[in-house]
Every structure is written in structure tokens, then in C-alpha cells.
Amino acid sequence: MKRLVSFKVERRPVASGRVVFFVSLLAIFAALMVAGIFFQIYGVSPIRAYQLILRGSLGSRFGLTETVRRAIPLLLCGVGLTVAFRALFWNIGAEGQLLLGAVAAAGVALFTGLPDQLLLPAMFIGGFIGGAAWGLIPAILKVKLGVNDVITTLMMNYIAIYIVEWLIHGPWKGPSMRGFAYTDTFPRAAWLPTIYGTRIHWPTLVLGLVLAALMYILVTRTRSGFEIRVIGENPDAARFAGINPLKTTLLVMLISGGFAGLAGVGEVAGIHQRLLGPSHISMGYGYTAIIVAWLARRNPLAVIVTSFLFGVIMTGGDVIRVSLGLPFQLINVFNGLILFFLIGSEILLRYRISFLLRR
Amino acid sequence: MDNSEGYLIELHGIVKRFPGVVANDGIDLRVRRGEIHCLLGENGAGKTTLMRVLYGLYRPDEGEIILNGQPVQMTSPRAALNHRVGMVHQHFRLVPTLSVEENIVLGLDEGTGPFLNFRKTRERIAAIANQFGLSVDPQAKVWQLTVGQQQRVEILKVLYREADILIMDEPTSVLTPQEVDQLFTTLRTLVDDGLTIIFITHKLDEVMRVSNRVTVLRQGKVVATLLTAETDKPALARLMVGREVVFRLKKSPIEQIEQREKLLEVNDLHALNDRGLPALRGVSFDLFAGEILGVAGISGNGQSELAEVLTGLRKSTKGRVFLAKKEITNCSAREITELNVAHIPEERIRMGIVPALSIRENLILKKYRCPPFSHWEFLKNKEVQENAQCAMSDYQIAAPSCETPAKLLSGGNIQRMILARELSENPNLIVAVHPTYGLDIGATEQVRQILLAQRKRGVATLLISEDLEEIITLSDRILVLFNGEVMGILDAESADIEEIGLMMAGTWHKREEL
């Protein structure tokens, strides 16, 4: 009773869009504060580090284009993940689905001998199928046998990584690569066009933006979207309403895995023009996309913004390595902190804290 | 100022505000040691809020709590338990995947070091269970238990923590008459043993049967505190609702059964429960258009499984079901819905609604695939909107707008929303499970009137309820289930409660021509 300030915690009926926005900003801010401690440990002023990151990723033409390039796979994976997360399917496997998409695209580019005009479309279709197939396995296991989706999707990532490693060291190793673990370079017709002077493979970017809009419509306006939301919010009510969980789960994982596969196509056809080591293809886009989707509060349109934001952060990783000589992995610490504070801040969406001044 | 002698609990001027409502508005409550004190009031009168204040779940905005003449701060349920106050909530706080004994010791410091020692626990549970007639298998998983058994676990939990003040929040709303009797016997034993019980209810019968004194709440205020022996049901009803309540509903007489269309025919139906044990063992009955067939029985005797099999949520293992002469045995839930069968589910929040979605969307939960609500893959917002507005005015669903998430509605409004959805397509058959469970008098009356209106329209209704009074009031015939078997079907007009009770306990009724 002697405290000057006391506070009261109350249940919040529904969090408005504004509240969600500010709470998300607060989470990012908190992550910035804590990440600052790590910069301090390396003897770098956090403010200077953040200035450099912002300048490096947004302040120059090169930085900006790198940011957009990084945002492309995050956008595609993130949009797919929002759909899976809406149905409460915890797809942690976008990384592996992306890699399988890359493998499928590489296979089409190198070995089918399709006519030039058909090659890129066939690579995108193949990549979609590759990623989707990788996503459908855990979906079937979950619905048919009740196997935990988090574990299967996560484990499938490792299988995907080793498949890529095996291919580039073994059967697909390029004879013209003189011992390097790459496939041969794709034929010219399998290269995605880029915006002049940048590495932005714009067809993939356009595809990502279109799919974000389509998924928004799917989730909010269609029967399938309604089924996805009902299953995600209350599986018992879904059963009661006669919604088929197998069909819906397969659909969301077809989308989620397929989109990650498309991201893989973009990386190999747009950046590297060959299949190479898994860590070079992806840099953890599939994992970062989980945070992207979550920060977007599972709204496919908002992923456009959050994927760009994480593009900034990933480009910032290059900046701190080049300009400050710090390890790139600091960015992973930062990503982890953002997810940590985001999940922690969920409580603020459900409860309202009000402070009372006492005399 | 008062002489607090003889009062174990005193609540003075308790005020608790929530955004938009004053749930408790200056409440004074005094409870004597060793009594059963009923807290009577309609839903929303502030009973549960007041008890949550006493149990430390809510901090009051004003007022004080005095136990044994000493002011106390109830900062948390743990603090309440330290003051030996325990509460059994209306919606149980059990972990379904854990066993009974694990639930009982949950949160306690039992055993040595990090290891649990269940041998002693088991002995103590057995001792308490024997003493108070609360038999339950300590190693059974909670999800396998019936609601009645789960309640016993909740009571055991409180007794295990050595509480001597027991708050029971609407404990009978989930029980059968026999279980209620058993509960009341238990409560008497507890009081004889020195416990004090606060019993929250909105049922007048229970007040008269079980309590020593009763405090009536209305709209967050105390209307009166009376000695039960000095009052009666009509007087309490007047105090509680501030108006006279009709106890009997008028039913229009039904035509002779022979002239009616046989709508549902169930032949030798068998099904398993969630544990894989037989739940239905050869259930057969007919249900005619324009008839309400009440299914009475102690909870866990196959009622839930029967409703689930009939609505396509559970597969039967043997037997056949015909709806209007068309076989529907083991059809899917969607197929059965499309044959115009309405289902008012047992657990309305768990199954009947999608809490995070809006009223608008909940109202199309079962018909979003059909015109006019969707065209090809797209939902048609305008039609969905209009549907919601009609339903909200027809069924008096009180909410700011049809965009309001269903989870913000009160129990009565949720049930009205479910009825609006289920009855909108003019069903042939209604399977209603506990349709008025947990609703206040006003909402209960309305739900019953709606069911009777459907009956008048010629709908066949299977009414599964554990409220025997409800079954007798609404039904034309009463089927009694025991251990998955039909003990007999009685005519409701001439049914004798004693006989139904015996049948619910497993006595065969003289088989009649059905």
C-alpha cells in the first residue's frame, strides 16, 4: 500500500491493429537493446553499429539492392509459412523445402534438355513440386499417424542438406568445375534475368509479391482459407463442422513447401546459376522466414514489410563483418532475440497493463 | 463493530470492477463455521467473481476479507490455500493427460528431492476417498474420466491440501441426479467433519436441499441473506430474478404416434468410447417427427457416444441408423449435416464455436460451402453479413457487432449463436446435448422455448441432458441409458421420477412394444 506506483493487469478484449503494431515495434526495440550488449562486449558502440548497419543496408544503392535480394527468399518462404501457421501446422522445415526446390530446379536446368523458352517455367514448376513434396511428407505423417510436425519438418531439413551435399560431391558434380563441389553452370537460358547492375532477380520478386496478395485473398476470402482458419483456431470445431483435416493440412503444406521451393529456384537460377553447398544456397532463409512470418502476425501481406526488414538485418550482417570485423553470426543472435521478444510480447496482446499513481 | 463471533468468513464491502461492468458492488457476506452457505443468483450476478476474490484469483478494488476475525490478504490461490480455503471451479482445472494422483499432487512438494513418491500419496488419497465416499481410480488418466468423476478429483485435490473452507462453483451443473445426491451426501459428511462450504448455484432445488443459509445476489449486490428453513422456492426465485418465474412450460399435445413419420430409426447400435471400451451395446429406438425424445442417464453411460455416432463424429462398430428411411450408418459429419441434421454439441465452447473467429464467421461454420454463402471458392461477404444480422436479431444475440469474436460472448449468447446456426436450415432432426448446461434462467427458458417451437414445426429432437427436470419438462418420451444399453422407454406424461432413477441405476424397465 506504500508503493507510489502500482499497476494492474487486465485481460484485453481484442488487440487492435495499432496495438499489435506497437507491441511488435516494442519487441524489436527490446531485441536491439539486448543485442547492443553483445556489440558492447566486442568493444563497439551499439549506436555506431546500428548506424553502420542502417547506412550499409539502406543508405547506398548497393546496400539497398542487396537488402531486396535477401528479402526475396524470405518473402516467398514467409508467405508460405503464414498459411501453414494459420492452420497451426508448425512448419520449421522451409529451409529443407527451399533446398529441395533448388535441387529440382538444378535437375531441370542441367539434365532435361528442354527448349530455352520452356526451361525457366519448368524450373519453377519443378522447384514448387520439389519443395511441396518435401513439405507433404510431414503433413501426411501428422494427419495419418499423429507424428509431431515440429520434429519431422525440422529433421527433414537435415536430410535435404545431405541430399544436396551428396549430389554436388557425387553424381551431379560438374566435370568442368575442376574438383570444386559444384554442379556445372546452368545453360544461359536457365539464368533468371536481374535488374541491371544488381543481383535482384526480379521475376522471383514479382512472383513473391503476387503470391503474398493471392495468399491474403486465400486466407481471408475463400472457403479453403476459412477451413484453414477453423482448423487452426479450433480443431474440434473443424471436426464438428465436417472439415477434412487431411485435405486442409495437405493444402497448407503444398503451399508452404511449394513456396519455399520457389525461393530455392530463385537462389540457384538468379544468384548462383548452379547447385552448390547448402549453406551457400540458403544462409538460413528458411529459419529466418519463421520469424518473418511470426512478426507479420501470420498476415501474408505484412510479410512484404517484415521480409524487407529482415533483408536489412541480413545485409547488416555483411556490414558488421566487413566494416567492423565482427562475426556474421551476431546477426543470428539478433534474429533469435527478436523471436524471443516477439513471443514474449504476445502476453501484451492479451493483457493490458495500466499504471496507477498513488499519493 | 460487529461481533464476529461464530463467523468464520466475513467479506466487507467487496467491490470488483471489470471494464464496463461492476461485477461486485459493495458485497457483505458472512459465513458461519460448519455451515453450507449457498450463494444464489443468476449468471452474471457476481457469485463467481466474489468467490474468486475470496480464493485470491482476483484482487478486490475495495473491501476486506476477514478470516477467523483476522483481516487477510488473498494475493493468490496459494495464499488462499495457506489460509485453508480451497475452490472447485465450474470448469475444472485438471491436466487431462496426467493421472488422477498426478493431478492431485500437482504443485505440491511431495516425495523426497526431485523424486515423486506416489505410494504415500496413494494411501492418503485412498484414505480421504474412503472417508468421504469419493471413489475414483488414482491411476486413471483424467481425460478418461466422466465429468462426475473429474469433479471428485477436484474435491479430492482440495481435501488433499487440507482446506477447511471449500468453495464449490456450480458443482451440480455437470452431474446426474444420482451424482448430485452422492455429492450432497459427500458435502454433508464434509460439514460433519468440520468443513465449511460455500456453494454457488442458480438452482433453487439445491439451495433448499443442501444449505443452512443462503445469500441471494442480484446484479452485483446482496439482496438478502436468509435461513434456508425460513424461506421457500418462490420467495427465493423472486429475490433472485426480481420477477416471477414460470416453472412449467406449456407443450402443445402431439398427435398419435402412429400417424407420425418415423424419422430416425436406430437398430442394435454398438460403438466404442475413447478408451476403446464398449460404450453403446445394442441401442435401438425410433424417433418420430414432431417428437422430443429425452435421453436420461448418469453421465458416461453412452450418451455422448450416442450423439457422436448419430452426428457422424464417431464410427459405430455394429448396427444401423436410418434417417427418413435412408441409411446413414457411419456417414461423415458433413454428409449428415447435409441431410439437415442439427447438432447442439455437448461442449459448446470446445466444439461448437471457433472462439477467435467473428460471430459472422461462426454462423456459417457448417454452411460456408453452400450457396448463398460461397460461389465457387469465394466466400460472399455480403450474404455472410446479412445472415449474421438476421440471426443476431432473430435469436437476440447481444454483441456490439457481428465482427465481434465469439470468445467475447457470454454463455447464453454463445448458445443462442449455435442455435441460430444449427436451426437456420430448418432441420429434420435435432441432436441436442446438454442444451441449457450452465445457462442462466432467462437463457435456459429461451433455449427450451426454441426447442419446443421446433417440435411444433414437426422436427424430431433427441434431447440428451443430465438435468432430469429438463428432460421431463420437454420430452414426449424418455429413454433411459445405462452402461450403453436402453433400460426402457417411458411416456413422459406418466413417468415417475423414482422409476427413472432406478432405471438410471441399471434396473430394466418392463419391455414394451416400441
Pairing of strands A5-11, A351-357: antiparallel
Of the three residues B241, B265, B286, the one that is the final residue of a domain is B241
CB contact (8 A) between residue B377 and residue A224: yes
Angle at A70 between CA A65 and CA A75, to 5 degrees: 115
Q: Does the residue B277 lie in any domain?
A: yes
Element (H, E) at B321: strand B316-323
Q: Does the residue B347 lie in any domain?
A: no
Q: B352: which chain A residues are within 8 Å (Cβ-Cβ)?
A: 237, 240
Residue in B345, B377, B405 closest to A222 by CB: B377
The average pLDDT across B200-209 equals 84
pLDDT at A16: 79
Asked if residue B175 and residue B81 are part of one domain, the reply reads yes
- The answer to whether B326 contacts chain A (CB < 8 Å) is no
Which cell goes with B166?
A: 471449500
Residue B85 CA to residue B74 CA, distance in Å, equals: 10
- The whole-number mean pLDDT for each consecutive block of 10 residues of chain A, a chain of 359 residues, reads 64 78 90 90 89 89 93 98 95 97 96 93 97 97 93 97 95 83 92 92 97 96 95 92 92 97 97 94 93 92 95 87 84 85 84 70
pLDDT at A163: 97
Q: B361: which chain A residues are within 8 Å (Cβ-Cβ)?
A: 226, 229
Asked if residue B54 and residue B177 are part of one domain, the reply reads yes
- Distance between alpha carbon A337 and the CA centroid of its chain, in Å? 16
Give the distance from residue A266's alpha carbon to the nearest chain B alpha carbon, in angstroms: 30
> B473 pLDDT band (50/70/90 cuts)?
confident
Asked if residue B91 and residue B11 are part of one domain, the reply reads yes
User: How far from each other are the two terminal CA atoms of chain A, in whole angstroms?
Assistant: 10
Of the three residues B189, B224, B241, the one that is the final residue of a domain is B241
pLDDT at B485: 92
Give the distance from residue B36's alpha carbon to the nearest chain A alpha carbon, in angstroms: 33
Asked if residue B479 and residue B375 are part of one domain, the reply reads no
Residue A293, amino acid: A
Residue A126 CA to residue A105 CA, distance in Å, equals: 6
Asked if residue B416 and residue B280 are part of one domain, the reply reads no
The average pLDDT across B198-207 equals 85
- The yes-or-no verdict on residue B328 having pLDDT over 60 is yes
- The answer to whether B313 contacts chain A (CB < 8 Å) is yes
Which cell goes with A42?
A: 566486442
User: For residue A250, with 0-12 CB atoms within 10 Å meaning exposed, 13-18 middle and 19 or more buried, which class applies?
Assistant: middle
pLDDT at A332: 83
Q: Does the residue B39 lie in any domain?
A: yes
Q: A224: which chain B residues are within 8 Å (Cβ-Cβ)?
A: 377
pLDDT at B260: 75
Of the three residues B425, B447, B474, the one that is the final residue of a domain is B425
- The answer to whether A358 contacts chain B (CB < 8 Å) is no
CB contact (8 A) between residue B357 and residue A229: yes
The average pLDDT across B428-433 equals 95
- The yes-or-no verdict on residue B36 having pLDDT over 90 is yes
Contact A62, A195 (CB under 8 A): no
Residue in B352, B374, B377 closest to A240 by CB: B352
Q: Output DSSP code: residue B212.
A: S
The average pLDDT across B170-196 equals 84
Average pLDDT across chain B, whole number = 85
Residue A264 CA to residue A284 CA, distance in Å, equals: 12
Asked if residue B420 and residue B446 are part of one domain, the reply reads no
Q: Does the residue B350 lie in any domain?
A: no
User: For residue B479, with 0-12 CB atoms within 10 Å meaning exposed, 13-18 middle and 19 or more buried, which class applies?
Assistant: buried
Element (H, E) at B26: strand B21-32
Residue A244 CA to residue A254 CA, distance in Å, equals: 16
> How many interchain CB pairs under 8 A, A with B?
72
- The answer to whether B345 contacts chain A (CB < 8 Å) is yes
Which cell goes with B445?
A: 427458458
DSSP 3-state of B342: strand
DSSP 3-state of B450: helix
Chain B residue closest to A222 (CA)?
Answer: B378
Element (H, E) at B218: strand B213-218
Cis amide prior to A13 (ω within 30 degrees): no
B89-121 confidence digits (pLDDT tens): 877 889 989 999 889 888 777 666 677 777 888
User: Edge to edge, what strands does the sheet with B7-18 contain?
Assistant: B21-32, B7-18, B62-67, B70-72
pLDDT at B246: 44
pLDDT at B21: 65
Element (H, E) at B287: strand B278-288
Q: A241: which chain B residues are within 8 Å (Cβ-Cβ)?
A: 333-334, 337, 365-366
Which cell goes with A48?
A: 555506431
Give the lowest-confidence range in A306-320, B127-141, B421-435.
B127-141
Please give the biggest Cα pair distance in chain A. 82
- The dihedrals phi and psi of B295, each to the nearest 5 degrees, come to -110, 110
CB contact (8 A) between residue B378 and residue A221: yes
Mutation test of the interface with chain B: which of A6, A9, A214, A234, choosing the one with the most B Cβ atoms within 10 A? Answer: A234
Q: Return the residue matching grid coordinates 427418413.
A: B324
pLDDT at B171: 86
Percent of chain B with pLDDT over 70: 91
Asked if residue B132 and residue B163 are part of one domain, the reply reads yes
> Total structural domains in chain B?
3
Q: Which of B157, B165, B149 is nearest to B199 (CA)?
A: B165
> B259 pLDDT band (50/70/90 cuts)?
low
- The answer to whether A233 contacts chain B (CB < 8 Å) is yes
Pairing of strands B460-464, B292-296: parallel
Domain CATH for B84:
3.40.50.300
Q: A236: which chain B residues are within 8 Å (Cβ-Cβ)?
A: 350-351
The residue among B250 and B370 whose pLDDT is bigger is: B370
Asked if residue B326 and residue B221 are part of one domain, the reply reads no
Q: Output DSSP code: residue B509.
A: P
- CB A207: neighbour CB atoms within 10 A? 20
- The answer to whether A16 contacts chain B (CB < 8 Å) is no
Q: A223: which chain B residues are within 8 Å (Cβ-Cβ)?
A: 368-369, 374, 377-379
pLDDT at B173: 67
Residue A135 CA to residue A94 CA, distance in Å, equals: 8
- The yes-or-no verdict on residue B513 having pLDDT over 50 is no
Give the distance from residue B425's alpha carbon to the nearest chain A alpha carbon, in angstroms: 15
User: How far from each other are the two terminal CA atoms of chain B, in whole angstroms?
Assistant: 68
The average pLDDT across B249-267 equals 72
pLDDT at B505: 67
The residue among B172 and B257 whose pLDDT is bigger is: B172
- The yes-or-no verdict on residue B2 having pLDDT over 50 is no
> B425 pLDDT band (50/70/90 cuts)?
confident
Q: Does the residue B359 lie in any domain?
A: yes
Asked if residue B146 and residue B80 are part of one domain, the reply reads yes
Q: A240: which chain B residues are within 8 Å (Cβ-Cβ)?
A: 313, 333, 343, 345, 351-352, 365
Chain B residue closest to A7 (CA)?
Answer: B59
Residue A188 CA to residue A193 CA, distance in Å, equals: 10
Contact A296, A228 (CB under 8 A): no
With a threshold of 0.90, tell me whether the complex ipTM lies above it: no
Element (H, E) at B442: helix B441-456
B222-245 confidence digits (pLDDT tens): 999 999 999 887 788 778 766 444
The average pLDDT across B468-480 equals 87
The residue among A171 and B22 whose pLDDT is bigger is: A171
Asked if residue B257 and residue B388 are part of one domain, the reply reads no
Q: Does the residue B2 lie in any domain?
A: no
Q: Output DSSP code: residue B510.
A: P
Cis amide prior to B435 (ω within 30 degrees): no
Asked if residue B455 and residue B359 are part of one domain, the reply reads no
Q: Return the residue matching grid coordinates 412449467.
A: B248
Q: B357: which chain A residues are within 8 Å (Cβ-Cβ)?
A: 229-230, 233
- The answer to whether B334 contacts chain A (CB < 8 Å) is yes
> B258 pLDDT band (50/70/90 cuts)?
low
Give the distance from residue B348's alpha carbon to the nearest chain A alpha carbon, in angstroms: 9
Element (H, E) at B17: strand B7-18
Q: Does the residue B133 lie in any domain?
A: yes
Containing domain of residue B312, as a range?
Answer: 246-340+426-514
Residue in A10, A233, A240 closest to B355 by CB: A233
- The answer to whether B382 contacts chain A (CB < 8 Å) is no
Give the distance from residue A133's alpha carbon to the nearest chain B alpha carbon, in angstroms: 24
- CB A48: neighbour CB atoms within 10 A? 12
Asked if residue B118 and residue B32 are part of one domain, the reply reads yes
Residue B349 CA to residue A113 CA, distance in Å, equals: 58
pLDDT at A3: 56
- The answer to whether A356 contacts chain B (CB < 8 Å) is no
Residue A331 CA to residue A32 CA, distance in Å, equals: 11
Residue B90 CA to residue B95 CA, distance in Å, equals: 15
CB contact (8 A) between residue A242 and residue B374: no
Residue B370 CA to residue B379 CA, distance in Å, equals: 10
- The answer to whether B370 contacts chain A (CB < 8 Å) is no
Residue B83 CA to residue B69 CA, distance in Å, equals: 13
Give the distance from residue B401's alpha carbon to the nearest chain A alpha carbon, in angstroms: 13
Which cell goes with B302?
A: 453412452
Q: Does the residue B348 lie in any domain?
A: no
- Sign of CA pseudo-dihedral B504, B507, B512, B514: positive
